[in-house]
């Protein structure tokens, strides 16, 4: 990645925001590196937009500090923060042309006419809208509108780019295409970026790091692969990817599923106290034909669903819990899958045997 020379670090320290007695943000802290792409991921109402608005300067926190580089920003108004913002609903001026919209931040900054024309053309080329300058915004598709909004957010070379669910109005195909485009644009420009989404796949696709937020607090801040492969707690394991949970007992440093001791990856120790085994459908295999040294889970097949690229087998374990396993269709063609009503033994590799603390009932 080319880190833009002016890209600052962003330091968020102990930021709290309450609405009446409700804590939308509860002393959150996060260090974002210069040129990094960080996503705030969480369910509806978890505080993502509030934190983004605190960064933008539209919401003032009750306490805490926001620094861009070395400069304290918490009392600075939005227009002094040098931030580009893209919202979910485009927020374009419908009566203006594409060029009028994209050039707007430059006119505000009193940039000369010919310079505006040059930079607007450059920004439009970056979002693959060369030659669209004279079009009216209301003649564009959703994807094109969002590209215009992106061009407008980057045309004045902001030091920081904030995006709040910018793709959620688009259909799935376009959304996936735009995810890659925004990621590539980020790699070219190196602007420090904070992106908000509730879509875990989008977060995994786009981010250098993801901050998972739950009820105004960070549940885990990590790279996409660490977040998926090593979720720190039940909330993250549940929210990122598909998981089922099996109760495990921990004693003398070993974790037991039923009466079997679970093999864990080298150096991994089970949490103390009650724990849960995180079972992801695609990490399970049929035990028959699987190698030695794996963990076994026994049960009965309850259902089998064809889903195109894979079959999903629903399994009731011998101690009565429900889990699921996924078999790619290509592999399922080579072996007979057990049918509903039949017993099944499943294998789980120690590297994929993830334990999280069982949280006390609320």
Q: Which residues bind ligand ATP (CB under 6 A)?
A: 19, 24, 42, 44-50, 198
Q: Is 191 left (phi over 0), alpha (psi -120 to 50) or beta?
A: beta
CB of 218 to ligand ATP, least distance (A): 13
49 or 353, CB closer to ligand ATP?
49
CB of 26 to ligand ATP, least distance (A): 11
CB of 150 to ligand ATP, least distance (A): 20
Q: Is 204 left (phi over 0), alpha (psi -120 to 50) or beta?
A: alpha
Instruction: With CA atoms as reference, report the closest residue to 102 among 85, 119, 83.
Output: 119
49 or 193, CB closer to ligand ATP?
49
Beta-carbon count within 10 A of 49 CB: 19
183 or 198, CB closer to ligand ATP?
198
127 or 212, CB closer to ligand ATP?
212
Q: How far apart are CA 333 and CA 162, in angstroms?
A: 46
Instruction: Give the DSSP letter string of 282-349.
Output: GGEEESTT--SS-EEEEEEEEEEEE-SSEEEEEEEETTS-EEEEEEEHHHHTTSPPPPTTSEEEEEE-
β-strand partners of 218: 213
132 or 235, CB closer to ligand ATP?
235
- For the chain, the distance separating the N- and C-terminal CA atoms, rounded to the nearest angstrom, is 44
7 or 38, CB closer to ligand ATP?
38
CB of 45 to ligand ATP, least distance (A): 4
Q: What's the Cα-to-Cα distance from 182 to each of 73, 173, 175, rounded to whole Å?
A: 26, 14, 10
Q: How far apart are CA 118 and CA 156, in angstroms?
A: 12
Asked whether the beta carbons of 103 and 116 are under 8 A apart, the reply is yes
Q: How far apart are CA 31 and CA 129, in angstroms?
A: 34
48 or 175, CB closer to ligand ATP?
48
CB of 54 to ligand ATP, least distance (A): 9
Asked whether the beta carbons of 243 and 303 are under 8 A apart, the reply is no
CB of 31 to ligand ATP, least distance (A): 21
CB of 196 to ligand ATP, least distance (A): 6
């Amino acid at each position: 990645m080319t880190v833009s020379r002016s890209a600052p670090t962003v330091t968020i320290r102990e930021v709290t925001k309450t609405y009446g007695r409700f804590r939308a943000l509860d002393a959150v802290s996060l260090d974002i590196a210069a040129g990094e792409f960080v996503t705030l991921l969480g369910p509806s109402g978890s505080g993502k937009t509030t934190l983004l608005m605190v960064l933008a300067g539209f919401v003032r926190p009750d306490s805490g500090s926001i620094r861009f580089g070395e400069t304290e920003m918490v009392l600075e108004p939005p227009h002094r923060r040098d931030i580009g913002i893209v919202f979910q609903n485009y927020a374009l001026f419908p009566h203006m042309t594409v060029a009028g919209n994209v050039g707007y931040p430059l006119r505000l900054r009193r940039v000369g006419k010919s310079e505006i024309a040059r930079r607007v053309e450059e920004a439009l080329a970056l979002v693959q809208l060369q030659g669209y300058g004279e079009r009216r915004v209301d003649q564009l598709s959703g994807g094109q509108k969002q590209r215009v909004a992106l061009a407008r957010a980057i045309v004045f070379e902001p030091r920081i780019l904030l995006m709040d669910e910018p793709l959620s109005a688009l259909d799935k195909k376009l959304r996936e295409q735009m995810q890659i485009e925004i990621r590539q644009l980020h790699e070219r420009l190196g602007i420090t970026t904070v992106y908000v989404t509730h879509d875990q796949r989008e977060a995994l696709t786009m981010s250098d790091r993801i901050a998972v937020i739950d009820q105004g607090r960070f549940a885990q801040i990590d790279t996409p692969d660490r977040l998926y492969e090593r979720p720190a707690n039940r909330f993250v394991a549940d929210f990122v990817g598909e998981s089922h949970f099996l109760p495990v007992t921990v004693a003398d440093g070993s974790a037991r599923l039923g009466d079997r001791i679970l093999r864990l990856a080298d150096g991994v120790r089970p949490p103390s106290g009650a724990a849960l085994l995180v079972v992801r459908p695609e990490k399970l295999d049929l035990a028959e034909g699987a190698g030695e040294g794996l963990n076994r889970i026994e049960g009965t097949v309850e259902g089998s669903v064809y889903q195109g690229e894979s079959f999903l087998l629903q399994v009731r374990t011998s101690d009565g819990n429900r889990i699921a396993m996924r078999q790619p269709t290509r592999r399922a063609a080579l072996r007979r899958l057990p049918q509903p009503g039949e017993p099944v033994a499943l294998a789980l590799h120690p590297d994929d045997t993830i334990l999280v603390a069982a949280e006390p009932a609320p």
